[in-house]
Amino acid sequence: MPELPEVEAVRLELDPVFTRYRIDDVEVRRADLRDRFPRRFRARLFGQTVEAFRRRAKYLLATLTSDETLVMHLGMSGWLNVSPPGTDAPEPAKHDHVIFHMSSGAVIAFNDPRRFGLMTLLTPTRLASHPVLSTLGPEPLSDDFDAAALARACRGRKTPLKIALLDQRIVAGLGNIYAAEALHVAALSPMRAAGTIARVTGEPRESAYRLVDAIKQVLTRAVARQISERYRSDRFRVYDRESEPCLRPDCGGTIRRRTQGGRSTFYCPRCQR
């Protein structure tokens, strides 16, 4: 499943040909993805200009001149392929389910073999009350996400720290891969209680500062690598490296895997405490 850095890379690729441009045509090549497309989906998009384009957690949000927001989620296997202005767009592929023709000259195809993606239109009221978007915590790359915010959210929690980081109410969009990576950078065990990074008063301990810095560092580097290297295991410190040596200098430990919350956690038991 694409994680936050991959979704942000898609946003960065689309932004120059999507934002401030008009949707000249939309091809809707099936009736549904994860859910059915909303009523009059094509008609409500046709002729609208994208006023703003942003990412919220793993969702892409395009604000339209109609005041509606086009909400997109890549699901398990979705991707948005861009044919830049001045190039010939290829014939639609088998799993190109929605194709946007922009006034910029770009053609943008939403491809999703497993059809777990989502594409819908929401009014401002429905966007504000969305069951997922309305409950999200701070964006991990924003100034709102700092050691104080993380410590307050984790104060008193006995749940494992790795599980807490995957709680979208605590931090928005952080997924399994990059939570494991950040914990290794911060030298913190994924099994330790989340509340241990906060004092009784809710003030952050030194470990909270380390962890926030590590999350921002790991995500920033992952976004920079962008699309082509998104799942290369040799780019990771611990993820998918079970039984391999720890990459921390002078550690000498071996990466282990265990299951937490139904997902694989990779960590070094020697240097992560």
Out of 2, 5, 140, 190, which one is annotated catalytic?
2
Distances (CA, A) of 168 to 56, 131, 138: 11, 12, 9
Is 263 noted as a catalytic residue in this protein?
yes
Is 40 noted as a catalytic residue in this protein?
no
Is 241 noted as a catalytic residue in this protein?
no
Out of 55, 58, 210, 237, which one is annotated catalytic?
58
Out of 56, 126, 248, 263, which one is annotated catalytic?
263
Is 162 noted as a catalytic residue in this protein?
no
- Name the residues annotated as catalytic: 2-3, 58, 263
